[in-house]
Amino acid sequence: MSKPISELLKALEREKGIHTDFKENMTYGDYLNLDDILSSQQRLSNHHDEMLFIIIHQVSELWMKLILHELTASIKSIEDGDLQPAFKMLARVSKIQSQIIQAWDVLSTLTPAEYLEFRDKLGQASGFQSYQYRLIEFALGYKSSHILKIYKNNEDVYRMLKAAYQAPSIYDVSIKALSRAGLSINPRLINRDYSKTYSGDPSVAQAWKEVYLQVDKYWELYQLAEKLVDIEDWLQQWRFRHMKTVERIIGFKTGTGGSSGVNYLRQVLDHRFFPELWDLRTQL
């Protein structure tokens, strides 16, 4: 049984070392900039549930910031030939993805009638415009020049996206790792035009097959492959939950950002980031 409140208060009083004077010292709130964070939920309507809508999206953006932090570092680590640190980072990405997926369960408590009460206040603002989500797609290898047009009015964001658009993805550096390990890779892939979405190559398929058939010899590459599969698996689950939550709340209406909504979200479910790693399951 839980302790009575009186006992808990007595236990707190016995904690003589607890700091209470912060005139000269940094507090928890100072460190986290909580005043700025907690004052950033500005509802455009008086509807109670708009707060839920804002916070879910803000929290998701914070998680995406951490995903990008980990993905960027893991890409560099793999490119430098130091795979072990990347495994920890990519495992963390998968855990973060599970948190973002669960956020859809909270948002799905918003009913269609409730959302209609403030949807018009959003104007043309939409999660479709999330530049961090686009950076994640670019880091995983899904490149679209059409998407860049959305951000031309923001020079800093556009410049950042353009750099990521032209940079090698995590799969590009993983293919380089296969080549460094002595596996035969089509040389045109090593310094290809990274702004083009990778669509597959027989040499990469054969290289991954050799990795899976000789796990002991290529243990690090085998670990890398499974980490990549984890990330794509979680991302597709996120996309599916996104689609079903949108369908649950607005049906097949056009999105506030002008996309076809559920129909668009269904289309992207068919895209694969690491095709050979999925085809391999059938071939082994």
* Cα 262 off chain centre by: 20
For residue 180, being part of any structural domain is answered with yes
Task: Note whether residue 85 is domain-resident.
Answer: yes
pLDDT tens-digit profile of 1-57?
A: 566 878 877 776 777 767 767 777 889 999 999 999 999 999 999 999 999 999 999
Candidates 42, 53, 55; CA nearest to 117 is 53
Q: Which residues are annotated as a binding site for heme?
A: 242
- pLDDT, mean over the chain: 92
Which CATH number is 140's domain given?
1.20.58.480
Q: Which parts are annotated binding residues?
A: 53-57, 115, 119, 242, 256
Q: 10-24, 103-117, 183-197: which has the minimum mean pLDDT? A: 10-24
Give domain status of residue 5, yes or no: no
Cα–Cα distance, 258 to 65 (Å, whole number) = 25
pLDDT at 16: 72
Q: What is the mean pLDDT of residues 96-100?
A: 96
Q: Does 80 map to a domain?
A: yes
Amino acid at 136: I
Residues 6+ apart with CB under 8 A from 256: 119, 122, 123, 124, 125, 126
The total domain count for the chain is: 1
Q: Is the pLDDT of residue 95 over 90?
A: yes
Which helix (H) or strand (E) element contains residue 85?
helix 83-107
- If pLDDT is split at 50, 70 and 90, which confidence band does 105 have? very high
Q: Is residue 39 part of a domain?
A: no
Domain assignment of residue 71, yes or no: yes
| DSSP labels, 202-249 | HHHHHHHHHHHH-TTTTHHHHHHHHHHHHHHHHHHHHHHHHHHHHHHH
Q: Is 10 a domain residue? A: no
Quickly tell me which residue has 């959302």 as its tokens.
115
Higher pLDDT: 17 or 62? It is 62
Q: What is the pLDDT of residue 10?
A: 76
Helix/strand/coil for 126: coil
Q: Residue written as tokens 């002991």?
A: 216
Q: Provide mean pLDDT across the span 144-159.
A: 90
Q: Which residues are annotated as a binding site for substrate?
A: 53-57, 115, 119, 256
In a domain, 243, yes or no: yes
Residues near 78 by Cβ (< 8 Å), separated by ≥ 6? Answer: 86, 170, 173, 174, 176, 177, 224
Q: Which residue has the tokens 């698996």?
A: 233
CA–CA gap between residue 121 and residue 29 (Å, rounded): 31
Residue 64 has pLDDT above 70, yes or no: yes
Q: At residue 126, what are phi and psi to the nearest 5 degrees? A: -155, 150
User: In angstroms, rounded to a whole number, what is the distance separating the alpha carbons of residues 89 and 83?
Assistant: 10
Res 195 pLDDT > 60: yes
The single residue listed with the structure tokens 């369908």 is 247
Of 218, 194, 78, nearest in space to 142 by CA: 194
* Residue range(s) defining the domain that contains residue 160: 46-251+258-282
| pLDDT single digits (tens) 220-239 | 999 999 999 999 999 999 99
